[in-house]
Amino acid sequence: MIDGFEQVGGVHPGFRRNHAKGVCISGSFESNGQGVSWSRAAAFAPGQMPVVGRFSLGGGNPQMPDEPTAVLAMGLSLRPPGGEEWRMAMIHLPVFVVKDVQGFYEQLLASKPDPATGKPDPSKLAAFAAAHPEFVRTMQVIKDGPSPSGFATANYNSLNTFRFVNAAGAGVPVRWSMVASVASAPAAPEQGKSPDKSYLFDDVIARLARGPLQWHLIVTLAQPGDVTNDPTVPWPADREHVDVGTLTINRAETEAPGNCRDVVFDPLVLPWGIEPSDDPMLSARSATYSESFRRREGERKTPSAIQVPVAGRGS
Ligand code: HEM
């Protein structure tokens, strides 16, 4: 999988093999105590804890230009007192585009730019789509929905299913989303024409310089029979949603030692009270993130494309 990312996105020493272009963020998570009914995780005890995170774009090129079709991502590490850390890696898409890791690998190779045109070979993409009917369905869902105008207004989704276990040992499958407090404005068509190749990052850095940004952590509880092993299948809209707390991001920082740079936002770094579901994509993700981390940690670091001015800090 990682060789595939390198083949398509190139080898960029020191950078993540996917979601290579990014910026570090930090702030806090304030739990309101509502999550305690479903999970005994320390992060759900009422109170505040520090958070380290990262905004990024999907793709292996750390210099890729920002564009309206980019996949916006948020990696987070919640650090409650006592060390029961909870890491997550979420994206803005409402569903994942393929149902398993093999499909993701094949999609990656099919979308490799043809050196002659600089664009993916349409015949390879068509062959991939024909072999993956779920890709055709999920791309339609994504096209029918609004694209977010930026990192600050996007909602970020776990997509894969996890399992919450409470103090009595009762478990329930869950998915979660960070839902932006700023009303989600759809992207304006002129955004993609910006001469600024990092307009999405520059926007969120400028907003953080003016003040903090917030998201609500909304947990969705499954009903018996809901699909737990396939992130391309959305759950019915009437499932119970619980607001368990507020994420406040108040600072953006250039990737550097000691901040998000050397963190791997592995979705299986989970605290007691949150477990993987039966979705095999989770262990595939974990293994792939580890291999990316292993390679990039052993390389000389080159400066990130996203440089945050020291004044670019919220309060
Ligand atoms: C089989 C499917 C997937 C594979 C193979 C994969 C692979 C990767 C890899 C290699 C990285 C870089 C890790 C590092 O060096 O730190 C990464 C980062 C990331 N992935 Fe995935 N991914 C998959 C699915 C997903 C899904 C379903 C989501 C979201 C729901 C997601 C969200 C993210 C995010 C947010 C990051 C950036 C984390 C950071 O800023 O360090 N990925 N992914």
Instruction: With beta carbons less than 8 A apart as the criterion, state whether 218 and 177 touch.
Output: yes
91 in contact with ligand 1, CB cutoff 6 A: yes
73 in contact with ligand 1, CB cutoff 6 A: yes
105 in contact with ligand 1, CB cutoff 6 A: no
295 in contact with ligand 1, CB cutoff 6 A: no
Q: State which of 254, 285, 306 you would mutate to test the pocket of ligand 1, scoring each by most atoms of that ligand within 8 A of its C-beta.
A: 285
Among residues 184, 191, 124, 125, which one has the least CA distance to residue 157?
184
Q: In angstroms, rounded to a whole number, what is the distance separating the alpha carbons of residues 98 and 136? A: 9
What single-letter amino acid sits at 60? Answer: G
Q: Pick the residue whose CA is nearest to atom 6 on ligand 1.
A: 285
> Going by C-beta distance under 8 Å and a sequence separation of 6 or more, which residues neighbour residue 312?
205, 206, 208, 209, 252
- Quote the ligand 1 centre to 295 CA distance (angstroms): 15
- Point out which residues pair with 171 in neighbouring strands: 165
104 in contact with ligand 1, CB cutoff 6 A: yes
Ligand 1 atom showing the smallest separation from residue 159 Cα? 30
- Quote the ligand 1 centre to 167 CA distance (angstroms): 30
**Catalytic residue of the set 12, 19, 92, 132:** 19
Q: In angstroms, rounded to a whole number, what is the distance separating the alpha carbons of residues 220 and 38? A: 11
177 in contact with ligand 1, CB cutoff 6 A: no
Q: What is the reported pLDDT for 282?
A: 98
Q: How far apart, in Å, are the Cα atoms of 11 and each of 2, 15, 101, 137, 293? A: 10, 8, 21, 32, 13
156 in contact with ligand 1, CB cutoff 6 A: no
Ligand 1 atom showing the smallest separation from residue 100 Cα? 1
Q: What is the reported pLDDT for 184?
A: 67
Q: State which of 5, 11, 18 you would mutate to test the pocket of ligand 1, scoring each by most atoms of that ligand within 8 A of its C-beta.
A: 18
Q: Where are the domains of the chain?
A: 2-94+145-297
Ligand 1 atom showing the smallest separation from residue 56 Cα? 40
Q: What sign does the dihedral 226-227-229-233 (CA atoms) show?
A: negative
Instruction: With beta carbons less than 8 A apart as the criterion, state whether 44 and 244 touch.
Output: yes
Q: What is the reported pLDDT for 314?
A: 44
Q: In angstroms, rounded to a whole number, what is the distance separating the alpha carbons of residues 132 and 87? A: 30
CATH of domain 2-94+145-297: 2.40.180.10
Q: What is the pLDDT of residues 1-59, one digit of tens each?
A: 999 999 999 999 999 999 999 999 999 999 999 999 999 999 999 999 999 999 999 99
What is the chain's pLDDT, residue by residue, as a tens digit (315 residues)? 999 999 999 999 999 999 999 999 999 999 999 999 999 999 999 999 999 999 999 999 999 999 999 999 999 999 999 989 999 999 999 999 999 999 999 999 999 999 899 899 999 999 999 999 999 999 999 999 888 899 999 999 999 999 999 999 999 999 999 999 987 666 777 777 888 999 999 999 999 999 999 999 999 999 999 999 999 999 999 999 999 999 999 999 999 999 999 999 999 999 999 999 999 999 999 999 999 999 999 999 999 999 999 864 444
- Point out which residues pair with 214 in neighbouring strands: 248
Q: In angstroms, rounded to a whole number, what is the distance separating the alpha carbons of residues 188 and 186? A: 6
User: Can you give the chain as a three-state secondary structure string?
Assistant: CHHHHHHHHCCCCCCCCCCCEEEEEEEEEEECCHHHHCCCCHHHCCEEEEEEEEEEECCCCCCCCCCCCCCEEEEEEECCCCCCCEEEEEECCCCCCCCCHHHHHHHHHHCCECCCCCCECHHHHHHHHHHCHHHHHHHHHHHHCCCECCCCCCCEECCCCEEEECCCCCEEEEEEEEEECCCCCECCHHHHHCCCCCHHHHHHHHHHHHCCEEEEEEEEECCCCCCCCCCCCCCCCCCCEEEEEEEEEEEEECCCCCCHHHCCCCCCCCCCCEEECCCHHHHHHHHHHHHHHHHHHCCCCCCCCCCCCCCCECC
Question: In the annotation, is 19 catalytic?
Answer: yes
41 in contact with ligand 1, CB cutoff 6 A: no
Q: Pick the residue whose CA is nearest to atom 34 on ligand 1.
A: 89
Instruction: With beta carbons less than 8 A apart as the criterion, state whether 78 and 51 touch.
Output: yes
162 in contact with ligand 1, CB cutoff 6 A: no
- Quote the ligand 1 centre to 268 CA distance (angstroms): 12
